[in-house]
Amino acid sequence: MTPDSSKKGQETREKYEIQLVNLYEEYFDKIARYAFAHIGDRTEAEDIAGEVFLRALKSLDSFRDCGIPLQSWLFKIAHNMVVDYFRKKSRYLMVRNDETRYKGEDDPESRALSNLEMEKVKIALQKLTEEQREVINLRFFAGLPSKEVAILLNKTDGAVREMQRAALVKLRQMLNKENMRG
Residue type, 49: A
Are 123 and 175 in contact by the 8 Å Cβ rule? The answer is no
Q: How far apart are the first and last CA of the chain?
A: 69
Quote the pTM value: 0.66
Residues contacting 104, CB < 8 A, separation 6+: 110
| 123-182 per-position pLDDT tens digit | 888 899 999 999 998 998 888 899 989 988 899 999 999 999 999 999 899 888 876 665
Using CA atoms, how far apart are residues 81 and 55, in angstroms rounded to an integer? 10
d(CA 26, CA 19): 11
Q: How far apart are CA 107 and CA 149, in angstroms?
A: 37
Q: Which amino acid is at 180?
A: M
Give 46's DSSP letter.
Answer: H
Domains of the chain from N-terminus onward: 1-93 (1.10.1740.10), 108-182 (1.10.10.10)
Percent of the chain surpassing pLDDT 70: 79
pLDDT of residue 77: 92
In angstroms, rounded to a whole number, what is the distance separating the alpha carbons of residues 176 and 77?
36
Give the start-end residues of each E strand in 5-146: none
Size of the chain in residues: 182
> Residue 13 and residue 6: Cα distance in Å, rounded?
11
